[in-house]
Structure 1
Amino acid sequence: MTRPVATAVGFVAVLLWGVLALLTVGSAPTPPFLLNTLCFAIGGTLGLVWTAVSGGLGQLRTVPLHVYVLGTLGLFGYHALYFSALRLAPAAEASLIAYMWPLLIVLFSSLLPGERLRAGHVMGAVVGFAGASLIVTGGSAGFRADAIAGYALALACALTWSSYSVMSRRFGTVPTASVAVFCLASAALSLPLHLLFETTAWPVGATGWTSAVLLGLGPVGLAFYVWDIGVKRGDIQLLGTASYAAPLLSTLVLIVAGVAAPTWPLAVAAALITAGALLAARASLQGG
C-alpha cells in the first residue's frame, strides 16, 4: 500500500467520526460507559470476524503484550478521560482542549524516525485548531477556575489519543487486526465503570438500537482499523491536520439532520479548516 493510499484510508476514520455526534444523539438515553461497552464489543467482534475470515487469527498471538496494553489505554483511556472531563468542566471548553490531539499529533510526529516536521504542517494544524475552536465554542468561551480538574482531564485526553496515534507508527509491523483486541479490552473495562457510576438505560426502539449498532460498526469500530492503517503507513502530519474536519463534518451532519442550526462561526470554521488542510498538504507535497 502506497503512502497516499494509506493516508486516504486513514481519512475514512475522520469521515466516520463525522457521524459520531448524530448517532450518539440517536442512541439516547444510553449512558456513556454502557454505550462504550456495546460499541466496543461490536467493533471488536467485527474485527475478529474479519481476521478469522482472512485467516489471520494466528498473528494475534505474535503481538507483544505491551502493544495490547498501549492500544487498550489509547482507545479506552481517551473515552474515559473525555467523559470524565465533561462531568467536571463545561462541555465546550473541555471539548476544545480535548480537540488539541490533531495538533499534538503533528508536533509529536517530529519524534518519529524518518519524519520531518515542516513549517507548513505546524501552520496548517494551528489554523485547523482555530477553525475547530469556533465550532466547539460557537465563537465564545470562558474558562472557569473551578473547573481546572476537568480541563486537566481534557488535556490528558488529548495527550492520550495523540500519543497512541504516534506510538502506533513506531509499531508499524504490528497487524491492524490487533485493534480488535484493543476494542474488546476497552469494552471489558467500560462495563465495570458503567455498573459503578451509571444507571442502566438501554437504547430505545429501532432508532436507538440502530444508532448504537451503527456506532459500533463505524465511528467506534471500523474507524479505529482504518486510522491504524493511516497513522502507520500514511502521511501522519497531513492526517493529523485533516482530522480537524471531523468536528466540521459532525456539525454539518447535525444541521442536515435538523438537530442543529447553521451559524456564522461554522462558515468561518469551514474556511479555516480547509485552509489548514491545504497548508499541510502543500508542505507534504513540496517538501517544505
Structure 2
Amino acid sequence: MANGKVSDAMAVDAEPTTQRGASRARLAGFACAALTVMIFSGWFVVTRFGVTRELRIWDIAALRFGIGAMLLAPAVVRRGSRLPIAAWGEGLLFAVLWGVPFVLLVALGLKLTSAAEAASVAPTLMPVFAGVFAWCFLRERQGSLRWLGYAAIVTGLVCLVSAGAAARGAPDLWGIAALAAAAVMWAIYTLLFRRSGLTPVQSAALICVWSAALYLPAYLLLGLSRFSLASQGEIALQVCYQGVLMSGVALITYNRAVSLLGSSAATAVIALLPAVASILAIPVLGEIPSLAEGMSIAVIVLGVLLASRPAAAGRASTRPSSTRPQA
C-alpha cells in the first residue's frame, strides 16, 4: 500500500514537469518559426533585388548552397556524426525538393512577378498542397475548418492575382506556375521531413551538400557567373542572406519548428510571410500593394490560420521514432 501511494505521488509530481517541458518545447518551436518567417520574408525581397539587377538566378543558387555547404558539412561528415547510406539517399530526395530546383523556381517566379505576389503564392499554397497530400496519401482527416481555410487561401490568391492584373497588367502565368510548383515541392518536403529520422541540422546540411555537389560543377563549367558585373555591396548582401541566413539559419529553424510543433502549427506562423514581405517590399523595392491586394493578402493569412488549426480527433500519428545518430 505504501509503495502504491508513493508511486501515485511521484506520478502526480511528474505530470506538471512534463507539461512544463511540453510548454517550453512549444514556445521554442514558435520562436524558431517566427525567426524563419523574418528571414524568409526578407529573402523574397533580397532575391528579387538581386535577380532584377546584375546577378542572375544561377548566381543566387550558387551562393546559397555553396556557402551553406561549407558551413553545415561538418554536421554530417565529421567523425562520430557520419550518417548511414540510407540517410544520404533521403537527403538527396530533400535536396531535389527543397534545394536548387526549389530556389530556381522561386527566383524565376520573383523575376516574373513581384515580391508581394511571390511571398503570397509559394508559402500560402504550401499548406494547401500539404493538407491535400496528407488527406489523399496519408489518410489524415482535415476537418471542416481546415477545408474552409484552404478555400479562403485559393480565393485570396485569385483575388490577389486579379488585383495585380488590374493595377499592373495581366500577370505572368509562367511566374505564377513556377511559384505554384515550388509550393508543391515545399509541401512534400515538409511532410517527408516530419516523418524522417533526420535532425533539423542534418537535413539542412544534406540539402546544402547535395545541392552544392550537383549544381556547382555545372555552374562553373558553363560559365554562368556574373559576379564580375555586380558591385561588392550587392555581392556581400547576397552572400550574407543567401549563404548564411537562408541556408544556415532558416533551414535549421524551419526544420526545428516542424519537429517541435508539427507541420500544421509551423505553417500557421508561416502565414505571416505575405504581410511581412509586402511591408518590406515597400521601402526596399518601391512595390506598394493596392487596397485590393492588401485585402487579398489578409484573406490569405486568415485562410492559412484556419487551415493550420489542429485536425479532427482520431488522426493516427505517423511520425516514427528517430533511430539515426544525432548531430
Tell me the TM-score normalized by structure 1: 0.76
Aligned partner of 1:67 among 90, 94, 106: 90
CA distance 1:12–1:113, change in 2 (3 Å): farther
Deviation at 1:21, TM superposition (A): 2.6
CA contact (8 A) 1:134 1:269 kept: yes
Deviation at 1:38, TM superposition (A): 1.1
CA distance 1:271–1:154, change in 2 (3 Å): closer
CA contact (8 A) 1:176 1:228 kept: yes
Deviation at 1:128, TM superposition (A): 3.4
Residue segments in structure 2 that go unaligned for 5+ positions in a row: 1-20, 315-327
CA distance in 1: counterparts of 2:171 and 2:297, whole angstroms: 24
Aligned partner of 1:226 among 253, 256, 259: 253
CA distance in 2: counterparts of 1:60 and 1:11, whole angstroms: 31
Aligned partner of 1:77 among 101, 105, 124: 101
- Which position in structure 1 is the counterpart of 2:210? 185
Equivalence map 1:1-288=2 (5 Å): 2=22, 4-5=26-27, 7-8=29-30, 9-27=32-50, 28-48=53-73, 51=75, 58-62=80-84, 64-74=87-97, 75-83=99-107, 91=113, 95=118, 98=122, 100-110=125-135, 116-132=141-157, 134-135=159-160, 138-140=163-165, 142=170, 154-171=179-196, 173-178=197-202, 179-195=204-220, 196=222, 198=224, 200-202=226-228, 203-257=230-284, 259-280=286-307, 283-284=309-310
CA contact (8 A) 1:105 1:166 kept: yes
Deviation at 1:30, TM superposition (A): 1.5
- Which position in structure 1 is the counterpart of 2:12? none
CA distance 1:242–1:128, change in 2 (3 Å): farther
Secondary structure (helix, strand or coil) at the match of 1:260 reads coil
CA contact (8 A) 2:60 2:242 kept: no
CA contact (8 A) 2:92 2:210 kept: no
CA distance in 2: counterparts of 1:20 and 1:164, whole angstroms: 19
CA distance in 1: counterparts of 2:109 and 2:262, whole angstroms: 30
1:77-115 superposed Cα distances (whole Å, 9 cap, x missing partner):
21234456778xx546x9576553231122223468795
Q: CA RMSD in A?
A: 3.7
CA distance 1:285–1:118, change in 2 (3 Å): closer
Residue segments in structure 1 that go unaligned for 5+ positions in a row: none
Larger Rg over CA atoms:
2
Deviation at 1:186, TM superposition (A): 1.3
CA contact (8 A) 1:42 1:213 kept: no
Q: Which amino acid aligns with 1:245?
A: L
**Which structure would you say has the larger RCO, counting Cα contacts within 8 Å and 6 or more residues apart?**
1
Say which is worse superposed, 76-85 or 14-23, in terms of deviation: 76-85
How many residues align structurally? 277
Secondary structure (helix, strand or coil) at the match of 1:229 reads helix
1:107-133 superposed Cα distances (whole Å, 9 cap, x missing partner):
223468795422222322332344455
1:184-205 superposed Cα distances (whole Å, 9 cap, x missing partner):
2213333245343835235412
CA distance 1:97–1:135, change in 2 (3 Å): closer
CA distance in 2: counterparts of 1:84 and 1:255, whole angstroms: 21
CA distance 1:199–1:65, change in 2 (3 Å): closer
Q: Which amino acid aligns with 1:229?
A: R
CA distance 1:251–1:133, change in 2 (3 Å): farther
CA distance in 2: counterparts of 1:101 and 1:65, whole angstroms: 25
Q: Which amino acid aligns with 1:79?
A: V
- Which position in structure 1 is the counterpart of 2:6? none
